[in-house]
Chain A
């Protein structure tokens, strides 16, 4: 009967190309079935596997309340209802495209200009990625992607398109930065298997690393793709989550400085889901310097246009300069404070994380907690973290990381109190692990006093009135 059913549907519909059978999603399922709540379910799973930006939602909500003309169901907005409701032009409302272009410029410190006519809508960044893959590559062709990378890329770029992703392997020896060698190796590997490489996909700022690419890396990438005459896709969806130095440099800036680069090879993916914190509104943007791609992608956008109701709201919000100034500054400050809380808390336990200046997560180093330097051991540790420690984090393997022991931990989708609880749970895990490794190494004794002191320091940091963790500004729904 199952076989019959499978034959009823296409291969795409029946295979695992959607990627939802990976560990990345198992943790979500664990959370969904037993979600943490401070009073109603204090032993539930804390969700730290979801890269959502909830820290500055109050600012957006306040803006919406103060700007009824942006919502079509208010007395001020109602007059636009009809025009908005019938508008289905896949070019998108001009005021929407203009506002998005200006916003993208603002996030890049007005160092570049974006042409609103090159802005194409899509069903979230998910839709933008897939559309770009359809435009740039035929089935069987490939894109190079540095590891570790966002697990959704496998679904977005390959599931229905039939293309392949070839990893550009990076490791911790140089903080997971991709090198020219690594790019060449991946490219040559593809050639050896007769796979045509059509492009390189970069994610800047990086998910899961939380780092930004420096000028050198971006220039190296642009030289590489130019030499090979392949496309460069830059997923910049976390561009406004940069909260510290080094700051964000967009590929648009590098392109501006590289007159020898063929601009028709350069494409940017953007979305408002991470920077502004509203994934529910499904605002994906594809920006291309290639006219044929813009034209093709625009036709494909019919499969995932942004609701005009949402376009109207955002055209208004993204034109409010004063609001944007305030929001961007405040959001960065809150993200910075929250990340410090997490990373300093981890550091106090002797847990390191990759230094980063962006994103809604940090790349946590739990290598010394592994029983062995293997992915099996990583999986085992992950199950302990989800099932016993009761925190959902994402294991490095799901990001195609080449080294076991790294985990992505999200910090912007909860409030301070939940973060405190999470840190407390992690500290217990580390303590337990220290005990275990103690019992395995009888010659190295760490005094109990030392251990209790290190946790008292953690408590002091968490409870200090000067600690960013007690800031009343940092408040988000669990």
Chain B
């Protein structure tokens, strides 16, 4: 009666189940202090006050240009999938700014999409046939199973990483993944990286960038670099674009037509509700095809315009980016200190809105297993009231690691969550 897609959405994982439990019993410091604290949502709520001040100082920025003149009519009718020129211009400049101005972005190579969710799906539709595959290092964002595979029919082959070397990508693991694809008779079309990484909170090292670039060159693979967490990093880190510019400065080299970057304002500016994402690619045909596909999820002209006003205020944006990074860095510090106090380690990373926490010691007696991880997770949510994302939902190959977000709650709530996590660990110690 219905299509096969109705049951294959990939949304059954614990990642989503945890959200559901939280929604039934959400923590509130006053009204529901025993509710579940949401530490499973990678959102940036730390710098809203800065945006709110901007809005107070720039009222009517919804419908008026800075120099005056209502744009309502124009926006109401604007449905050109090439995007509002004044928005694209400042978006390209912003993307450059948060990369320390080491990379310049050309508006003609930018495609606007309804969030990076849409951007990632569009790239899969454009770069691979149903049944072809992309290699993705584990652990990775659970939403990719839906975003990259569901309607496109594209397969994901994991590149396994391990805690033994801090989850870095190695040549053997890359080759192993490629081999596995061949064994499964799946044609590999590209590599999909999130840089900085969700859930690890780390940026790819120069070594990893070189490895991935040379691997993609030797097999003529595409590289999709999802860089939506760029501005959450405490300091700028090298990107594929920068690295490729040094290795192969000739813009006509075919490698350039195989590098595609995904951007979004959801994590940096904390505006996921406005659905503002983008694809950046040097491949002219891809930009043309992706632009047409963006028809299925254009960015509201209203939001394009508002953001064009905000991003055009360079003084504000520079200040915002700096202060936002500082606050995230500080919050990361609070998190790490709290985890240390609870007897827990986390992966050393300077980016993202989360920590990748080693909770293997809290899994109880017996050998480490995903069953034990699931049991620990269940107790954390239902008994101790903290929703976190278990490693299995991120396709981690080792049990016992959890992603814990820190930027979507007030500091006091974070401290309460850390107290509860400490109690989990203590409880695990008692059980042992």
Contact = CB atoms under 8 A, between A and B. Distances in A.
Interface of A: 4-6, 8-14, 18, 20, 52, 54, 57, 60-61, 64, 71-75, 77-78, 81-82, 84-88, 123-124, 126-127, 130, 134-139, 141, 155-156, 160, 198, 229, 264, 273, 277-282, 290, 292-293, 295-296, 299-300, 302-310, 313, 477
Contacts of A73: 55, 58-63, 306
B301 A281 contact: yes
Contact of B60 (A74, A139, A307, A313): A74
Contact of A160 (B62, B70, B125, B283): B125
B79 A279 contact: yes
B3 A126 contact: no
Nearest to B408: A86
A12 B266 CA distance: 29
B273 interface: yes
B3 A135 contact: yes
Contacts of B271: 85-86
Interface centre among B48, B128, B273, B289 (most CB of A within 10 A): B273
Given A12-B289, A81-B51, A85-B274, 8 more contacts: A18-B289, A72-B55, A73-B60, A82-B52, A86-B271, A282-B114, A302-B146, A303-B118
A307 B76 contact: no
A465 B166 CA distance: 81
25 contacts: A8-B258, A9-B283, A9-B289, A72-B62, A75-B56, A82-B45, A87-B272, A135-B2, A136-B2, A280-B76, A281-B76, A281-B301, A281-B302, A282-B298, A282-B300, A295-B6, A296-B2, A299-B146, A300-B150, A303-B117, A304-B114, A304-B296, A307-B300, A307-B302, A313-B302
Contacts of A78: 52, 55-56, 59
B327 to A, nearest CB: 15
Contacts of B286: 8-9, 13
A295 B6 CA distance: 8
Interface string B14-53: 0000000000000000000000000000010100100110
B127 A307 contact: no
A71 B72 CA distance: 12
Contacts of B48: 81-82, 85
A318 to B, nearest CB: 15
Given A73-B62, A280-B302, A303-B114, A12 B126 contact: yes
Contacts of A278: 76-77
- State the majority secondary structure of interface residues on B: helix
Contacts of B118: 123, 303-304
Contact of A130 (B59, B283, B296): B296
Contacts of A81: 48, 51-52, 55
Interface centre among A88, A229, A310 (most CB of B within 10 A): A88
Contacts of B236: none
Given A10-B129, A73-B60, A73-B61, A137 B3 contact: yes
B4 interface: yes
A123 B73 contact: no
A9 to B, nearest CB: 6
Interface string B271-294: 111110000000101100110110
Nearest to A311: B273
Contacts of B9: 296, 299
Contacts of A5: 257, 283, 285
Interface string B150-161: 110000000000
A278 B55 CA distance: 24
Given A14-B285, A85-B51, A293 B77 contact: no
Interface residues of B, number: 72
Given A73-B62, A82-B48, A86-B43, A9 B302 contact: no
Contacts of B127: 8-10, 13
A126 B81 CA distance: 12
A281 B63 CA distance: 13
A339 to B, nearest CB: 20
Contacts of B258: 8
B74 to A, nearest CB: 8
Nearest to B115: A305
Interface string B115-158: 10110010001111110000000000000001100110000000
Contacts of A160: 125, 151, 293, 296
B11 A299 contact: yes
B270 interface: yes
Given A160-B125, A307-B302, A313-B302, A13 B274 contact: no
A66 B301 CA distance: 21
Contacts of B6: 135, 292-293, 295-296
B137 to A, nearest CB: 23
A9 B285 contact: yes
Given A136-B3, A304-B118, A309-B274, A20 B52 contact: no
Nearest to A279: B79
Given A160-B151, A278-B77, A296-B6, A11 B289 contact: no
Interface in B49-95: 51-52, 55-56, 58-63, 70, 72-73, 75-79
Nearest to A78: B55
B300 A306 contact: yes
Given A61-B70, A73-B59, A81-B55, A88 B4 contact: no
Nearest to B45: A86
Contacts of A57: 73, 76
A123 B257 CA distance: 28
Interface centre among A6, A73, A78, A477 (most CB of B within 10 A): A73
Contacts of A305: 114-115, 275, 297
B3 A123 contact: no
B96 interface: no
B59 A74 contact: yes
B299 interface: yes
Nearest to B23: A89
Q: Which 3 A-B pairs have the closest CB atoms?
A: A304-B297, A308-B273, A280-B301
A277 B286 CA distance: 31
A302 B60 contact: no
A73 B307 CA distance: 11
Given A13-B125, A302-B117, A310 B302 contact: yes
A324 B418 CA distance: 51
Nearest to B254: A4
